[in-house]
Structure formats: structure tokens, C-alpha cells
Amino acid sequence: MDVKPQSLMPPNPPVQPDKSQAHETWGGFALFIGQLVLAVLIFRSFVFSPFTIPSESMVPALVNGDYLLAAKWPYGFSAHSLPVRLPLPEGRVFSSNPERGDVVIFKHPVDGTDYIKRVIALPGDSIAVVDGQVVLNGEILPLRRVADFEIALSPNTGCAWGGREERRADGVRLCRYTRFAETLPDGRAHNVVDFGTSTADNFAPVTVPAGAMFVMGDNRDNSQDSRFPAVAGFGVGMVPMNNLVGRATIIAWSTNGSAEWLRPWTWFAAARWERIGTRL
């Protein structure tokens, strides 16, 4: 009778597990979230951090509803560089002073809130204001009249006492401000708006002390800046360099405030597209 040859292999070899299969675990998800949070923290502390503009003290460069990115590295790093407050020692590492004309974000010397202004004078500079014109180291900074600043009225933008409310031919209501180009000693220029005669138009000469800076808002008649003593929620006085947070660089988004969260199509209609991408 015929005999079948015996196979050397077992009839049903064991199935090896597929080690390439993914297994979701809470531990792995928590690790991913932790890594993501750490990456965001590092980016916001040392690279760029977002800020929003809630007032009009920096008109025309910045208006209420602008969202900007601030570079964190130009002036070095300190406890104020972190997005959360930690009991770290005072001072900055890799420190560098700003230049006149820089738009800087800093912590208020009294209440620690974030403020944004333009640097006008540095340590050792003498500064005064006479009839609305800045006098820096004995020289009047020249002002040149340029085209008026116009901005459409919206939930985010009213018309302050120095503005002139108008209606364009297309029916859009806007506010018009008198605008000047102010030129610093190195030839760097920026725009400012003037409302007319105000209590801030005259400021007696002072010398900026070591380790400090004198800052002003571009909206010269509507800015609580170094012309006023440092008081919580108001003036900032001479701002310590150690309070620097970063340098404003670009407007990443701008909205007139008319958008509704539950109606996404209104987000685009509310955007001020002409402001987005503006470098500061």
C-alpha cells in the first residue's frame, strides 16, 4: 500500500504577532500632549509670541483689533520672556538694548501688565516735549505733514475727540486723523497722529537713567507713556530695560470686531485685510 511521506513542518505553524500594529494608550497620548505643550512654551518664550492690541495708544501703527507677533530674542531673555510668571532672578541674558524707533512690548513697572510703545530715548539721552514736538538731546525731531490716517468705524474702532467723523461716497463711515511723519536723528521715521492741544504737549527736560528707556505712544495725545509717572493702569514712567518682553514685528491678523463666533463666514468679512502682514 502506498505510504505518504511525512512533512517536516507542523501542520498548523503558530502565528507570530504583528509588531507593527499601533496600540493607543492614555500614557502615549499624555506624553504627546506634554511634548506639544513644551514645544509651544519654548517657542513662545524664545522665538515669537502673539499679542493683541486692546487700545488706540499706538494709532496709526496699531489699532484696536490688531494681532501681532513679537520677536523674543532681539533684547535677550529674562523672567519676563516666559508666558507664565516664575520666581526667577532679575536681569537678562544675552541682553541687547533696543534702538530708537523700535516698537517694544514690556511689563508695566508697577502692575506687571503688558504694554506696547515706541522707544524714543535711550540711557543718557536728554528728552523733552515742547508744544507737541519731541526735543531729543537738544534737537527738535522734525515733523512732516503726510496724508491723513483713515479708519472705518466698527465695533473695535470709534472716533476719539481728535478725529473727524466722515462718510465716504460708498456710505462707509470713517474717522480721519491728522498724521505726521516724525524723523529720528538716524533718519529713521515713523508716523504719529496729533489731536491738537493737550496736557501731554509739554514735558520738561529729563535725562534717561542707565538701564532705562523713554517710550511714547504714536497717538501722542491719547497715550499713557513715559511722560506720566508710573502708576498701575496708567503712565509707565522710565521703563527698566529688564522689563522688556520682545520687539513687535508683524501684524498677523486684524479684525474690526464685527465677527460672530457661531457664523464663521463673518470672520472673513470682519478682517482688515489691508493691515495683515504689515511689518512694524
Query: In Å, what is the CA distance from 2 to each residue of 5, 6, 263?
Result: 10, 13, 83
* Secondary-structure percent of the chain, ordered helix, strand, coil, rounded to 5: 15, 35, 50
User: In terms of C-beta density within 10 A (0-12 exposed, 13-18 middle, 19 or more buried), how is residue 116 classed?
Assistant: buried
Report the alpha-carbon distance of residue 90 to residue 109 in Å, rounded: 13
Spell 8-29 as b/e; 16+ CB within 10 A means b: eeeeeeeeeeeeeeeeeeeeee
- Residues identified as active-site: 57, 117
Question: Judging by beta carbons within 10 Å of its beta carbon (0-12, 13-18, 19+), is residue 46 exposed, middle or buried?
Answer: middle
Preceding amide of 83 cis, omega within 30 = no
